Chain A
Amino acid sequence: MSESLELPTVETAGFSCKPTSDGGKLSIIFSGTGDVAAIEILGKYLKQVHAEAERSGLTEVTCDFRKLSFMNSSCFKAFVVWIDTVKNAPRVYQIRFLTDPDMHWQRRSLEALRRLATTVVSVEGG
């Protein structure tokens, strides 16, 4: 993680978010299972991501889902709220999802997130 990035790694039983930064871009690796135990942590974390994106003037945030085996609708909703916030922010940045084509739920769920904000969200690897 770069020195300028003010975003921690968070971990709970079976779920983690690990950030890395490269210039004006931030990547976060999501791992494990996004279930009920992860909801509160994830909601708070995505608010932190947005605050960091605004503070640092980020142009892009990449969410790497390739190690995320499942996400329930409450965790999905945390991303909906975040994307809606970004879509309506004064300065919009891009949100890019990296997926594992073998995890079939990712293609369907993330495509729904892309439809929510087609100019903000892109999905790769599905």
Chain B
Amino acid sequence: MSGDGTPLVSLEVSFGAAPPQGMVTPLCQSLLELCRPVFEDEDAAARLRLTAHELLENIVKYSADSSCELHFELRRTDAGPLEARIRTRNVPRAENRPDAEARLAALTAAADPLEHYDSIIADSARQPAGSGLGLARIHAETEYRLSHRFEGDALFIVASGEVWLKKGALP
């Protein structure tokens, strides 16, 4: 997948601080409605919505009090499908950083996302919070690829997956 050049669609939402929880559902619902008319199937829109929702809720739950953003884009690829990509940037609270790093590393290293997901689910039953269930859910249920990096204190998470557009939906 090349992912180079100008995206077909790009949307960025920036926040001066972690957004209020009440904004997550309307924002992700808007993204769903934005993509629904052009995606070939409803399932692709549902997977995108789930990905955006879980990433944005993580920002709400675990951000220090500093700016953060959610960036969405659709790009052409060398192959047939388009690439849908969601990138978030936030500064996790210092006490959450080691846990976030460990969970993200385990997630991206997992050979079988479904097996890893089942294991996280089983563990989460007796864990009060911060089980990494949302990220594992993205990985296993949407088949989006996840990657992450830290730049200083800022955590960037990128989720990307293939989508097909309706014929003639975009120029």
The reply to whether chain A is a binding partner of chain B is yes
Which A residues contact B (CB, under 8 angstroms)? 14, 33, 35-37, 70, 72-74, 76-77, 80-81, 83-84, 102-105, 108-109, 112-113, 115-116
Residues of A within 8 A of B47 (CB): 104-105
Instruction: Determine the main DSSP class of A at the interface with B.
Output: helix
Query: What would 5 A/B residue contacts be, using CB atoms closer than 8 Å?
Result: A33-B25, A35-B24, A72-B54, A112-B117, A115-B118
- What is the bound-complex CA distance between A36 and B57, given in angstroms? 8
Residues of B within 8 A of A103 (CB): 46
Query: A104 and B42: CB pair below 8 A?
Result: yes
Which B residues contact A (CB, under 8 angstroms)? 21-22, 24-25, 42-43, 46-47, 49-50, 53-54, 57, 60, 117-118, 121-122, 124-126, 131, 133-134, 137, 140-141
What is the distance, in angstroms, from B95's C-beta to the closest C-beta of chain A?
Answer: 20
Residues of B within 8 A of A112 (CB): 117-118, 121, 140-141
Nearest-CB residue, chain B, relative to A36: B21
Nearest-CB residue, chain B, relative to A13: B22
Q: How many inter-chain residue pairs (CB < 8 Å) link A and B?
A: 71
Choose one: A35, A72, A84; the contact of B125 (CB below 8 Å).
A84
Instruction: Determine the main DSSP class of B at the interface with A.
Output: helix
Residues of A within 8 A of B21 (CB): 35-37
Given A84-B125, A104-B46, A116-B121, the answer on whether A77 and B24 have CB atoms closer than 8 Å is: no
- What is the bound-complex CA distance between A114 and B29, given in angstroms? 27
Given A77-B131, A104-B47, the answer on whether A72 and B57 have CB atoms closer than 8 Å is: yes
- What is the bound-complex CA distance between A29 and B10, given in angstroms? 38
Query: A76 and B133: CB pair below 8 A?
Result: yes
Residues of B within 8 A of A77 (CB): 124, 131, 133
Given A73-B134, A77-B131, A104-B42, the answer on whether A35 and B25 have CB atoms closer than 8 Å is: yes
What is the distance, in angstroms, from B161's C-beta to the closest C-beta of chain A?
Answer: 14
Residues of A within 8 A of B134 (CB): 72-74
Nearest-CB residue, chain A, relative to B140: A112
Query: B57 and A70: CB pair below 8 A?
Result: no
Q: A35-B25, A76-B133, A109-B141 are in contact. List 4 more A-B contacts (CB 8 A).
A: A36-B22, A37-B21, A84-B126, A115-B121
Residues of B within 8 A of A109 (CB): 137, 141
